[in-house]
Structure 1
């Protein structure tokens, strides 16, 4: 993992997530991915989920599987990883961190993790 957040940064991001959570709570949703025929689980806030769902051409392709996600250290690190990836740091390390912390949030919410990328499974 490339995320090197100290206690102060973790607390700052936790406070930002708490504030965002009051506006639109976090959810975990799954999407049936037509490209590879699998299911992908993702984290976002409820308002963003509605916007994404509105753009989805297949209404049955998305559904919330965990409404109201608790703000934990893993969710904080997921938010940092997502921010890094969204800022254009599309490096393999940033994307790997995002996948790892997404899976950690899924596990602590007792949900199955996402399947590995096909490229990764071919390397093994």
Structure 2
């Protein structure tokens, strides 16, 4: 994994996430494609989840963890998510995001997502 953050940076990120969490808490939800039955788990804030749910009627969306705790794993996921948004073309960034996402899923006692193709 190419995500390197110091303990101090991790604490700062967690503080920022805690502040954002007061506006709209983080959730883990699964998407189930209606045609294929393919399941994917994702992390976002509750407000974004509601927008995604309204915009994607080709999928069933189910919240599996409401109010996800702010942990080191979630903070690393946030860093990976940010890197993917700015450097999404790089395969390693996608793998890092997948690894960080799966770490949060496992930490929250949910199955990890299967491998994606990057």
Q: Deviations over 1:3-24 (max 9, x none)?
A: 0111221111111100110100
Cα deviation for residue 27 of structure 1 reads 0.3
What secondary structure does 2:63 align onto? Answer: strand
- C-alpha distance in 2, partners of 1:85/1:35? 27
Q: TM-score, normalised by structure 2?
A: 0.92
User: What is the aligned-residue RMSD (CA, Å)?
Assistant: 1.7
Aligned residue in 1 for 2:47:
47
Cα distance 1:103–1:54, how it changes in 2: closer, same or farther (>3 A)? same
Query: What count of residue pairs does the alignment treat as equivalent?
Result: 118
Runs of 4+ in 1 over 2 A off after TM superposition: 33-37
Q: Deviations over 1:59-108 (max 9, x none)?
A: x6111011010011000000000000011343111111110010010001
Structure 2 gap ranges (5+): none
Q: TM-score, normalised by structure 1?
A: 0.88
Structure 1 gap ranges (5+): none
* Contact 2:83 2:93 (C-alpha < 8 Å) held by counterparts: yes
